[in-house]
Amino acid sequence: MDPTLTQQLSQQEALLHRPEIRNQPGRVSQLLHPAFEETGRSGQCYTRALVLEALRNEADTAEIVADSYAATELAPGVALLTYRSVQRDAQGLRSKHTLRSSIWLLTDGHWQLRYHQGTPAQDIW
């Protein structure tokens, strides 16, 4: 595990958890690789276009809380980021405990998310 890479990628990933970023297609487009794909915690597959549209119209106000970030360089300019997350509502109730993994590519000097997967998990905190 590379602590510097972990910090760099976890900060990028955390931007995608913030409502003020999620609702900005231009900003999300900078973070997502043009060939981005996602397998959601539901098992459904999403394209970049579907994710951009869904986030732009998202009305869910649950906070995404994440921890246990770990990054591994798979090859030069290719990294795997793993972590766990949970959604917390306004009353502090936690739901959607999820183990997550993301593949990031270094593209033109900045990291872009190429693939993301969420796997339902037991109550992890």
Q: Does domain 3-120 have CATH number 3.10.450.50?
A: yes
pLDDT range class, residue 1, cuts 50, 70, 90:
low
Q: Find residue 46's DSSP bridge partners.
A: 38
CA geometry: angle 125, 73, 55, nearest 5 deg: 55
pLDDT range class, residue 125, cuts 50, 70, 90:
low
Q: Which two tokens stand for residue 67?
A: 């921890």
- 3-class DSSP state of 51: helix
pLDDT reading at 95 higher than 90 = no
pLDDT reading at 124 higher than 80 = no
Residue 98, pLDDT score: 95
Q: What is the pLDDT of residues 47-82, one digit of tens each?
A: 999 999 999 888 877 889 999 999 999 999 999 999
